[in-house]
Amino acid sequence: MTALLARLRRPAAPARPEELTKRLEKADRLIDLAWSVAVLWGVMRLVAALWLWRNTAADDPAWFADPLLIGVLAYGLYRRSRACAILLLLYVVVELRLTFGARGPTAGITVALVLGITFAQGIRGAYAYRKEMGDAGLR
């Protein structure tokens, strides 16, 4: 069980110079903000899916695919994956575009801006982290 938990955690931080540590901490802060907002967004979507499941006659298991996908992408971002960071932003853009098409352009524009900016910062942090690790030869 401890081996599984060790695999789920972030990679261990190797010994590095102080200047590199500061740059990596800045990248980690950007990543931490983005994945925590993604988890919050996924939990909100899960609550909405549970509400739909309990209060409608049609049981559609696809409602739970959305929060699951958000959670998987958030975990990938937590692990500092650049691909997951980009996919998370693209998923937000597509999902909110579909929402705007159904409800009009003013529906949730604030949420769209907050999520978009936050996930863009997550992409920035993931790329900065990988660049710094690559430059230091610690990949």
Q: Please report, in tens digits, the pLDDT of each residue of the chain (139 residues total).
A: 677 777 777 766 666 678 888 888 999 999 999 999 999 999 999 999 999 888 888 778 888 999 999 999 999 999 999 999 999 999 988 888 887 777 666 666 788 888 999 999 999 999 999 998 888 776 6
The pLDDT, as a whole number, for residue 62 is 83
Exposure b/e, 51-89, CB count within 10 A at least 16 = b = eeeeeeeeeeeebeebbebbbebbbbbbebbbebbbbbb
Which amino acid, 34? A
The pLDDT of residue 124: 95
Residue 81 pLDDT: 92
The answer to whether 74 and 38 have CB atoms below 8 angstroms apart is yes
Neighbours of 119 (CB within 10 A): 28
What is the pLDDT, as a whole number, of residue 94? Answer: 87
Predicted confidence at residue 11, as pLDDT, reads 65
Please give the model's pTM, rounded to 2 decimal places.
0.81
pLDDT at 122: 95
